[in-house]
Structure 1
Amino acid sequence: MTAPSVSIVVVSRHRPKALQYCLTSLSRLVYPAYEIIAVTDPSGEVAIHDMGLTGKVRVVPFDIANISQARNAGIEAAGGDIVAFIDDDAVAEPLWLHHLAGAFADPEVAAAGGFVRGRNGISFQWKARGVDCTGAAFPIAVEEERSTVLTPPPGQAVKTEGTNMALRREVLLRLGGFDPVYRFYLDETDLNMRLARAGHKTAIVPLAQVHHAYAASDRRRQDRAVRDLFDVGASSMAFLRRHCPEAMWPQRLEALRQEQRARLLAQMRDGLLEPGGVRQALRRLEQGLAEADAPAGPLEPLQGNTGDFLRFDSRATGEHVELAGRIWRKRELCRQAAQLAEQGKTVSVFAFSPTALFHSVRYRKPGFWLQRGGLFGRSERHQNLFQIGLFAARLRAETARVAKIRWICSKSGR
């Protein structure tokens, strides 16, 4: 069966360095037919030029602080059968599209979402989740190595994450894409609810994985400290007006206030916020709730691309190389990894110290994965604090942990 063509939309505003890391990962996907669409401001255009990707990445100029409008601009420029989304502060595993697009072999699947790993590159920020009419999300149990098609009960939807999701282009266009009333927060959740209401099915694809780092923005600092909660309040109220019976609003709004207050107080406790910053953020939350725009009627269909598809020539050969050694060889291993990455190989570096330190994974330019940690330390956070085993056995365990998301064929180096 021929793989569907995929348009990847990445929105970036005032984060050129993050965009470069994201595009580095997207330029090394193991997938036969995809294009990259960057909806970005002038700083992003410069970053793309500096990477030598001018003319290879489709650039849609956009410099407005509205994630929904920006994504819609990307959708209208897309020429693929499928439109996939990733944030600029995320990087994709090499087989991300291979797994995510594979879900659409089922003709009943209109949307798909994958798992999202967090800042340490190992723990998950989000797995499978559902959402109810208040916008509250809840976990869903699925098998973690196969795609699962879910049909939620009335009033609920399967939640996909904006940094790791894909939809059939024709469905997106017909539904009007993302609602611009959601400048930030709940934008994809609103789309999930509209998909469910229209009877479309969503697949959760655990092996379609990205790593999400939470870069700084107008709403949060690099250390994730809150700057502004206005859009959280405005989007929450817009969502309730669109999807939730009014009788349920007070309970949900109280829960929202408590959630955000607890979040802010935790940041104050950790020294990230001053008391005045907490009070200001809570005032902005209330201001957003009070000044939220009312959702309009059904969205008008988007105008689609007439068929122009800018196929990206992936730099990945499909060959994977493992490099492993003790931590004191890390610099040498990274040098070798960079050379191999320049040749188009997918490279994983494992550098173990004789300790019980927790493991972490980082994506490094020009495009390789570095896992560091103690030979006796845990990687998955549910493991015992102390892992017993020899170097070779530990390496086998860690390579097996990422094999299904990172490579198809493999060569090893020691």
Structure 2
Amino acid sequence: MPRTEFSVVICVYTEDRWPDILAAVESVRGQSLPALETLLVVDHNPALLARLRAAYGTDPGPGPGSVRVLANAGPRGLSAGRNTGIAAARGAVLAFLDDDAVAEADWLRHMASDYTDARVMAVGGRTVPAWGSGRRPAWFPEEFDWVVGCAYKGMPRGRAPVRNVLGGNASFRRSAFDAAGGFAVGIGRDGDRRPLGCEETELCIRLKRAVPEALLLLDDRAVIHHKVPLARERFGYFRRRAYAEGLSKARVTRQVGMGKGLESERRYTTRVLPAAVARGLRDALLGRRGGAGRAGAVVAGVAGATAGYLVGAVRSRAAGPDSWAVAAPVPAGPRQEGRP
């Protein structure tokens, strides 16, 4: 069977993350299954674009270890940056890595093993937090690790079908974009201070509608380590991110309907979170460190996300259908031999 060829897309936007960007690229170069190429897509930052081009050159051509530096060809934001990478990529499968994360050496190899099944259209991996303080804050519940862009308690383990993959550690066949279009512009992070998201959720739901037989998998062997700066270990950020998640979910459900838009969240809120509160209260009664804080954080997180959802639902209705997001068309990139 021909080898699966990966193009890895890393979207970047600030020179403040320069060491992190270099580390992310080096982790791709160190893969046991070499990537065809790494694409660095710069989000409307000419200084960073020039600095990266000076570091990596212009277009070295495809090959293990090659890095191409591109300017975001669309409006400011993560979705348009990813679409720029999709349009330019030469690989059969496109993998997405956050600019402040490093992939373990077998990241791509584990993902590639899942694509031997022709029905698989997307594979996501497990994202582990790398706490800036050196350890998890005692009050921070594992069930809310999605707040810092990581896998959270309550997600499936092993290799399992999922509704959607998480965008910072994910891969898609190119044919998935041919069928469903690109990431929706107008949802997700766009340089604004509010940490919105859910653009990958909307894409995955749209993909399943376009290709009903498609399988989307979580393979927790495909591991990356995501940097969590000290500012994101604070309760203020936790509350803002939970509220923003509610806003984002309202946008998604406006587009795809509540049935699909909140399918996974129902089990999470009715089973996983009540159990988390109970564990936190039990630990508090037993005198264990952080128990009361974790229980309180779960309650605060649910309240924040609910408030954000209600506000977002009102705003989405006022804005009208489909006014917030348009799926950007994705031109077919050059084809490579050995597509899965």
TM-score, L = length of structure 2: 0.63
Q: Which has the larger radius of gyration?
A: 1
CA distance in 1, matches of 2:179, 2:165: 19
Give the paired residue count.
Answer: 263
For 1:99, what is the secondary structure of its paired residue?
helix
Cα deviation code 1:304-331 (max 9, x no counterpart): 223489xxxxxxxxxxxxxxxxxxxxxx
**Aligned alpha-carbon RMSD (Å):** 4.1
CA distance in 2, matches of 1:183, 1:92: 23
| Change in 2 beyond 3 A, CA 1:210/1:122 | farther
| 1:4-403 pair list within 5 angstroms | 4-14=4-14, 15-40=17-42, 41-49=45-53, 51-52=55-56, 54-55=58-59, 56-62=66-72, 64-120=75-131, 139-142=154-157, 144=158, 147-148=159-160, 150=161, 157-184=162-189, 185-197=197-209, 198-199=211-212, 200-214=214-228, 221=231, 223=233, 225-226=236-237, 232=245, 234-245=247-258, 290-292=314-316, 294-295=321-322, 299=327, 301-307=329-335
For 1:105, what is the secondary structure of its paired residue?
coil
Does structure 1 retain, via aligned residues, the 8 Å contact 2:185–2:326? no
Does structure 2 retain, via aligned residues, the 8 Å contact 1:8–1:85? yes
Deviation at 1:104, TM superposition (A): 0.5
Deviation at 1:173, TM superposition (A): 2.7
Does structure 2 retain, via aligned residues, the 8 Å contact 1:111–1:167? yes
Deviation at 1:25, TM superposition (A): 1.2
Deviation at 1:287, TM superposition (A): 6.5
Percent sequence identity over matched residues? Answer: 25
| Change in 2 beyond 3 A, CA 1:108/1:165 | same
Letter in 1 for 2:223: Q
| Change in 2 beyond 3 A, CA 1:18/1:85 | same
Highest RCO, 1 vs 2 (Cα 8 Å, sep ≥ 6): 2
| Change in 2 beyond 3 A, CA 1:43/1:88 | farther
Deviation at 1:67, TM superposition (A): 1.4
| Change in 2 beyond 3 A, CA 1:93/1:46 | farther
Unaligned residue ranges in structure 2 (runs of 5+): 60-65, 147-151, 190-196, 278-289, 295-304
Higher mean alpha-carbon deviation, 205-214 vs 294-303, is at 294-303
For 2:130, what is the secondary structure of its paired residue?
coil
Unaligned residue ranges in structure 1 (runs of 5+): 130-136, 151-156, 271-280, 310-414
Q: As a proportion of its length, which structure holds more strand?
A: 1
| Change in 2 beyond 3 A, CA 1:82/1:158 | same
For 2:11, what is the secondary structure of its paired residue?
strand
Q: As a proportion of its length, which structure holds more helix?
A: 2
Give structure 1 regions of 4+ aligned residues with deviation exceeding 6 angstroms. 121-126, 281-287
TM-score, L = length of structure 1: 0.53
